[in-house]
């Protein structure tokens, strides 16, 4: 008879799983066996773990599960981008996006049901905040995407050649989906460790990116505990504008944010920080703004990723013209800053940057949650 509240083994990184197995009187190698079955093989059936002792398999069936979020919608864009809406319980759903490219496949992963930071141009932020996702719900997005993408690839290859290519489909993971990853630090770091662990997904630190709006103390913690590639949602060239567009700036202004970026680079797997900058017509896209950015990042090795704004209903913003973006980028490039303009992907299924909205019951009153953060700075 199984327990009414089984433990979801996707919640554990390798150290956590070894400790949990020790509590069962099992040796560490058993935990690593099960972890490889879960993450390398995408297995959620203990009976199928053929090199695990039958007695342990029977025990696990009674007390544990391997349970990722449940997909409730699967949308595929004309450009091949694939978006899943995933049920995370209590009328909440989050979104995960796979972006296929010639040289890589990138999975954009969510960390929260909604977001409490309320960035002015972000669809996710406009719907409020419910809760942090568990480690199982975060890594479960990668687990599920690997499984579904692998099944689709194998079916296509069976039809075309009868042969299977077991190469990695997802080569890069970006924590750029719904939510602020560093506001859910512990669960995100557990998931990151699984992404990096050779017993799980074995990704390089250079191929795993955390995007933050600039929670400085958490950036310092990430630097110490699990330094992966860092992207910072900048979106403004001065504090007055950023206070309006990215409210967390009222707590951690640009001077503190730039200093944190420089500290992070001491441990980072890449020798630069990526600054994300959404291009908003008539708001943050002037030549003067570009020159301010050059001065702002002078001491911070970086590259810029300019993001054409992706509209959503009642946003109040418009996308900068292609010519304005080109001129803006030119000022940065002329100053010696590597600058790219993100190609819009998946906007026909609302999978583009800033469009992820999911389905979130705002039970925590975002403005009330943010108030202590703002008051602390006064």
Which residues are annotated as catalytic? 95, 353
What CA–CA distance (Å, rounded) separates 319 from 311?
7
- Rounded to the nearest 10 degrees, the angle between the axes of helix 14-23 and helix 185-196 is 100
What CA–CA distance (Å, rounded) separates 38 from 148?
15
Q: Reduced to 3 states, what is the DSSP secondary structure of residue 267?
A: coil
296, 304 contact by CB (below 8 A): no
92, 113 contact by CB (below 8 A): yes
Give every strand in the sheet of 208-212, ordered side by side: 70-76, 82-89, 92-100, 105-108, 172-175, 208-212, 229-233, 273-279, 302-308, 338-341
278, 237 contact by CB (below 8 A): no
CA of residue 153 relative to chain centroid, distance? 24
């Amino acid at each position: 008879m199984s327990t009414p509240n089984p433990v979801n083994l996707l919640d554990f990184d390798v150290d956590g799983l070894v400790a949990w197995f020790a509590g069962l009187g099992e040796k560490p190698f058993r935990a690593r066996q099960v972890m490889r079955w879960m993450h390398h093989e995408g297995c959620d059936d203990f009976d199928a773990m053929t090199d695990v002792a039958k007695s342990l398999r029977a025990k696990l069936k009674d007390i544990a599960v391997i349970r990722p979020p449940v997909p409730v919608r699967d949308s595929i864009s004309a450009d091949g981008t694939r978006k899943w809406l995933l049920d995370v319980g209590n009328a909440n759903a989050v979104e995960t996006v796979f972006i296929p490219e010639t040289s890589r496949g990138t999975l954009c992963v969510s960390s929260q049901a909604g977001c409490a930071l309320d960035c002015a141009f972000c669809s996710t932020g406009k719907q409020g905040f419910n809760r942090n996702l568990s480690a199982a719900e975060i890594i479960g997005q990668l687990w599920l995407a690997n499984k579904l993408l692998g099944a689709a690839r194998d079916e296509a290859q069976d039809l075309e050649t009868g042969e299977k290519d077991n190469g990695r489909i997802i080569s890069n993971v970006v924590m750029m989906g719904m939510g602020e990853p560093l506001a859910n630090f512990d669960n995100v770091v557990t998931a990151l460790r699984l992404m990096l662990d050779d017993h799980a997904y074995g990704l390089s630190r250079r191929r795993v990116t955390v995007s933050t709006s600039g929670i400085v103390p958490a950036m310092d913690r990430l630097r110490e505990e699990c330094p992966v590639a860092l992207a910072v949602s900048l979106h403004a060239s001065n504090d007055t504008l950023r206070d309006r567009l990215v409210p967390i700036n009222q707590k951690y202004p640009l001077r503190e944010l730039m200093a944190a970026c420089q500290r992070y680079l001491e441990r980072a797997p890449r020798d630069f920080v990526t600054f994300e900058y959404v291009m908003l017509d008539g708001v943050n896209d002037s030549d003067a703004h570009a020159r301010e950015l050059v001065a702002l990042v002078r001491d911070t090795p970086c590259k810029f990723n300019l993001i054409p704004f992706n509209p959503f209903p009642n946003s109040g913003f418009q996308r900068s013209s292609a010519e304005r973006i080109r001129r803006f980028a030119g000022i940065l490039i002329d100053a010696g800053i590597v600058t790219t303009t993100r190609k819009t992907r998946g906007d026909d299924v609302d999978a583009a940057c800033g469009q992820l909205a999911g389905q979130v019951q705002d039970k925590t009153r975002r403005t009330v949650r943010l108030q202590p953060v703002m008051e602390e700075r006064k």
